Structure 1
Amino acid sequence: MTLKTYEEALQWVEEQAPFGIKPGLSRVEHLLAKLGSPERRLKSVHIAGTNGKGSTAEFMRASLTEAGIVTGTFTSPYIVDFRERIAVDKDPISKQAFLEIANQLKPLADELQESSLGHPTSFELVTVIAIKYFASYAFPDIVIWETGLGGRLDCTNVVSPMISLITNVGSDHAAILGEEKIDRAYEKAGIIKSGVPVATAEEDPEVLTLIRETAKNNRTKTYELGQDFHIEAEAGNERFSYYSIYPFGTKKDLTLGLKGGYQQKNAALAMAALDYLKMMYALPIEEEHIRIGLTRAQWPARLEVVQEHPLIILDGAHNKEGVDALASYISQQYKDKQIHLILCCTSEKDPEQVFASLMDFPLSSLKFTTFEGYRAPSSEEVKGKAMTIGAQPVEDVFEAINATKAQAEPADLILITGSLYFISTVRTTFM
C-alpha cells in the first residue's frame, strides 16, 4: 500500500518502534544494496560516545557551514520536529522527500520481514532514509553521523568516514553494551575502520589503550585530547584556548555558543576533526570560520533558558555523566538561587542513579513526572521512581510545570531535566 502523506510515512516509521533494538548491520546493508548502495557516494564523519555527540556535531556543522561547506547531519533523538534528525545546514529533510523515500523503502522492508533477517527497526529505517536523502536528493559536501547506540553494531556503521570521533565512554546502556566500562568502550571503538583515523576526547587510560590498540589493528592513527590537541581554560569564565599538533591549529581566546565548561572538550574534538579535514582533504576551513562557527553553534535543550523570571532552564541530561556535568555547571553559575527540580527518565532507568548529583542541592521543590511515548514511565513507575529520590510524583508534565511556577519566586531557578523525549514534550510549552 502506497503511503500518501508525510504523516502516514512518519507513522509507518514510528510504528516499527516495538521491534525494539536489534544490533547488527545486516538489515541496513540489505536495504541499501537494494537501493543501489547510496552510502558509497557520501563523504562522512562518524561520531560515537556516551555524551557530547550532538554538541560535537553542531560545532563541526556550524564551522563547516561558515566556511561555505554544505553539511548534512544525522542526529537523534529530535527535540521539536522529527525531520530535524536529517538536515542539511540545519534545514530539515522536506516532507515530500521523506514521503518519496519511505515509499521506495516500504516494499523492501516488507520483503525483508519475510526473510530470516526479520523486519527492520524504526532507527534502521530512518538511517536508510537519511542515507538515500543525502546521496540522491540533497548532495551535501559532508555528512556528520551520530551513532544511535554503541558503534560496532550500530546501523550507522555502514558509512565509510574520512575520520571517526569518540567523545567519551560513560555508563549509559550498560544492559545492552556491557556492564563493564571497557566492554562499552569496545562497542564504541567498533566504528574505527581500516585506514581511517580516530580522534577522541576520552581520558580514561584503560579506554585509551583499547582505542589505540583498535586503531593499530586497523592500521590507522589516533588523535587524543591531552596529547595531540589540548585546551586551556581561563579561570572564572568560559573562554578557552585550543592547541594542536598542526601548525595552523592553535586558536586562543575562544568562546562557544553552547553553555557549560564541559562543552570545551566537545569543541576541541570538533576542531581536531576540522584540523584533520583541512590537512588531509584540503577543505577551505580558516580560523575565522571556526571562531564564528563555535559562537553560532546552537543545540536545543542544552542549558537552554526558556524563561527569565523565574529562570527556567531545560537540559537533556539523561544519564549519570550528563547529570554530573549539569550539576557542576549549576553549582558554579547559580549557587545563590533557590532551586526547583522537575525530573523524568525513561522507564528502564533508575532515577536514584541517574540524578544522584542533583540530589545534593538544597532543593525548594522536587517533582518526578512522565511524558507520552513507548519509553515513558507508567503511572505506577512514576510513583515508584519518585519515592526512590524523595520527589513528589506528578503524572501530568504540564501540571508539574504549572505547580512549580506557582511555587517559585521570581528570583528562583526551575531546572527541568532528564530524557530528551521528556524535554521535547516540555519544550512545546515554552516555544
Structure 2
Amino acid sequence: MNYAEALDYIHGTLKFGVKLGLENITALLSLMGDPHKSLKFIHVAGTNGKGSTVAFISSILMESGYKTGIYTSPYLERFTERIKIGIEEISDTDVARITYFVKEKVDELIRNGGNHPTEFEIVTAVAFQYFFENNCDVVVLEVGLGGRFDSTNVIDCPLAAVITTISYDHMNILGDTLEKIAYEKAGIIKENTDVVLYPQSDEALKVFEEVCNDKNSRLNKILVSDFDILESSIWGSTFFHKKYGRFEIHIPGEHQAVNAVTALEAVNILKEKGFDRICETAVDRGLKKAVWPGRLEVVCKDPVFLIDGAHNREGALTLAKNLKEYFPGKRIIIIVGVLKDKDYKAIIEPLVPIASEFIAVKPQSNRGMEAQELAIILRSYCNEVSVSDRIEDAIRYSMKKVSKSGIICAYGSLYYIGEVRKFFNV
C-alpha cells in the first residue's frame, strides 16, 4: 500500500458515515495491541477553539522539550496535518505503512463479526499507533465530534480534560440545547479527572459542575476577571494574567487570549503532575510561537485578504466582532461557502451588517451547498451578491473589485479555506 492507496482506503470508508460509540474503536485497538494504553493524553473538547487551544498547549510542551503528539481535525490542505509530532507531520510513508497495518486489523475485526469502522475511527487508530511507535511523552488529543461517544474517548483518564467554548453545532447529533450539548462534551470527564473549563454560559456551567461532582473530578474554571487584554490587533494580542504574568500571542482575535489562558491552566496541571521542564521561559516562548492556520489568518497584505474557518453561529459572531474592531469603516467583501446540513442562516446573518458584497462559492464536499442556491439566500440580506463556480475565480474577482483600502474575507467552511491558502501559497 502506497500513500495514495492509503488515502483512498481511508476516504473510501466515508460511506460508513458517522457512528458515535466506543465499541468499534475499542475492538479495533484491542486487535492492534492497545497502543493508546501506553500513552499519556491531554484531551480537548468543545464547540469552537479546540484547535487553537491544542496549538497553545502543544507549543508550550514542545518548547519545554517534550516529545509531543498532536491529533486534530479536519485538515486544511494535507491529510498529514492531522497527525504530528511537534511541528513535523506524519510522513507519507508512515501513513501508508500504518494504514496497511490498521486495514489488516479491520479485516480481522470484520471476519470476527464486528462492524466496519468509520473513517474517523480508522484515522484515530492510525494516529494512536504512530504516537505509540514514536514513544511520545504526551499527546494533545482533539475530540472529533461531541465527546462522550467520540472515538478519541476510548482513552483512559487523561492528565487533563480541557473543554473550550460550548455553543450550538451538530445539533442533530449532540442535542438542541446547550445543556444537552454540554453533557456530550462533558463525556470526556472521567473519574478523578483534572478539568480545565473555558468561561461558559450558566446552562453549560451547571452541567459541567454536576458531572465533575459525580466523577469526583477537580474543576478549574477560567475566570475573565483573572486577566486583562492589554492590546489586540490582526497580528495578535498581549494580555496580563494575575497569576501567570504578561504574555504575547500571535493568533489574532481577543477570544484567542482566553484560549491561551485555558492552555496556561492545562500546562500548570501537567507541571503539578511531574512535567517539571515546563518553566516560565518555555511558556512565554510557546505562546508566542503557537500558530493555528485558517483562523482570522492574513494570507495576503495587498489587498488585505483574510481567511477564517467560522462554520457556526458563535464562530460567525466572533468573526464579525473582530472584523469590526480591526477594520472599522472599511469596505469588506465577503466570500462565503457553507455546508447544506449546517444552520447556514446563523452563519450568514452576523456578517450581513459589515459586508459590502457577498460572493457565493461551493465548498469541495458532497455536503457543500450549491453556490447558486446560497446566492439566493444571500440576496435576501444583501443587494450586492455574485456567484463564482470556482473558488480561485472568486479570489481573483474579489481582488479586482476591492478598493486599495478595502478588505476581503473568505469564511464559512474549512472545506474550502484550505483551497484559498493554497492559492496564496501561504
Q: Do they superpose with TM above 0.5?
A: yes
Partners of 1:241 and 1:252 within 8 A in 2: yes
Report the secondary structure of 1:239's partner residue: strand
Pair 1:189-2:178 in alignment: no
Give the TM-score taking structure 2 as reference length: 0.94
Could you tell me which residue of structure 2 aligns to residue 230 of structure 1? 226
Contiguous gaps of at least 5 residues in structure 2: none
CA distance in 1, matches of 2:258, 2:386: 36
Offset at residue 404 of structure 1 (A): 1.2
Within a 5 Å distance, the mapping from 1:304-323 to structure 2 comes to 304-323=297-316
CA distance in 1, matches of 2:330, 2:97: 51
Letter in 2 for 1:77: P
CA distance in 2, matches of 1:159, 1:219: 18
Report the secondary structure of 1:182's partner residue: helix
Deviations 1:317-357 (A, max 9, x none): 11111111111111111013211000111121232211211
Contiguous gaps of at least 5 residues in structure 1: 244-249
Q: Which range moved further: 368-377 or 81-90?
A: 368-377
Match of residue 412, structure 2, among 411, 415, 418: 418
Within a 5 Å distance, the mapping from 1:17-36 to structure 2 comes to 17-36=14-33
Match of residue 171, structure 1, among 155, 168, 173: 168
Could you tell me which residue of structure 2 aligns to residue 409 of structure 1? 403
Cα separation, partners in 2 of 1:270 and 1:126, compared to 1, 3 Å: same
Letter in 2 for 1:410: K
Deviations 1:7-37 (A, max 9, x none): 1001110111121110001111001000111
Report the secondary structure of 2:320's partner residue: helix
Report the secondary structure of 2:65's partner residue: coil
Offset at residue 190 of structure 1 (A): 0.3
CA distance in 2, matches of 1:41, 1:118: 25
Deviations 1:144-172 (A, max 9, x none): 00000000000000122111000021101
Cα separation, partners in 2 of 1:192 and 1:258, compared to 1, 3 Å: same
Pair 1:339-2:332 in alignment: yes
Could you tell me which residue of structure 1 aligns to residue 197 of structure 2? 200
Report the secondary structure of 1:234's partner residue: strand
Within a 5 Å distance, the mapping from 1:80-95 to structure 2 comes to 80-95=77-92
Partners of 2:72 and 2:82 within 8 A in 1: yes
Offset at residue 178 of structure 1 (A): 0.2
Match of residue 121, structure 1, among 118, 121, 125: 118
Offset at residue 383 of structure 1 (A): 4.5
Match of residue 378, structure 1, among 361, 370, 377: 370
Report the secondary structure of 2:410's partner residue: strand
Offset at residue 359 of structure 1 (A): 0.6
Cα separation, partners in 2 of 1:19 and 1:268, compared to 1, 3 Å: same
Could you tell me which residue of structure 1 aligns to residue 262 of structure 2? 269
Could you tell me which residue of structure 2 aligns to residue 158 of structure 1? 154
Partners of 1:318 and 1:354 within 8 A in 2: yes
Offset at residue 381 of structure 1 (A): 3.9
Report the secondary structure of 1:377's partner residue: coil
Could you tell me which residue of structure 2 aligns to residue 365 of structure 1? 357
Partners of 1:230 and 1:268 within 8 A in 2: no
Offset at residue 283 of structure 1 (A): 2.9
Within a 5 Å distance, the mapping from 1:394-405 to structure 2 comes to 394-405=388-399
Partners of 2:47 and 2:167 within 8 A in 1: yes
Q: Which range moved further: 234-243 or 191-200?
A: 234-243
CA distance in 2, matches of 1:285, 1:113: 44
Q: Which range moved further: 125-134 or 416-425?
A: 416-425
Within a 5 Å distance, the mapping from 1:287-306 to structure 2 comes to 287-306=280-299
Cα separation, partners in 2 of 1:36 and 1:236, compared to 1, 3 Å: closer
CA distance in 2, matches of 1:32, 1:239: 43
Give the TM-score taking structure 1 as reference length: 0.93
Within a 5 Å distance, the mapping from 1:138-153 to structure 2 comes to 138-153=134-149
CA distance in 2, matches of 1:301, 1:344: 14
CA distance in 2, matches of 1:388, 1:142: 50
**Paired-residue identity, %:** 33
Could you tell me which residue of structure 1 aligns to residue 3 of structure 2? 6
Report the secondary structure of 2:254's partner residue: coil
CA distance in 2, matches of 1:194, 1:350: 35
Offset at residue 235 of structure 1 (A): 6.0
Report the secondary structure of 2:226's partner residue: strand
Deviations 1:247-291 (A, max 9, x none): xxx232211021110001100110000111101224311111111
CA distance in 1, matches of 2:196, 2:371: 43
Offset at residue 373 of structure 1 (A): 2.2
Partners of 2:70 and 2:85 within 8 A in 1: yes
Report the secondary structure of 1:265's partner residue: helix
Q: Which range moved further: 336-345 or 106-115?
A: 106-115
Partners of 1:164 and 1:192 within 8 A in 2: yes
Offset at residue 181 of structure 1 (A): 0.9
Could you tell me which residue of structure 2 aligns to residue 78 of structure 1? 75
CA distance in 1, matches of 2:378, 2:121: 34
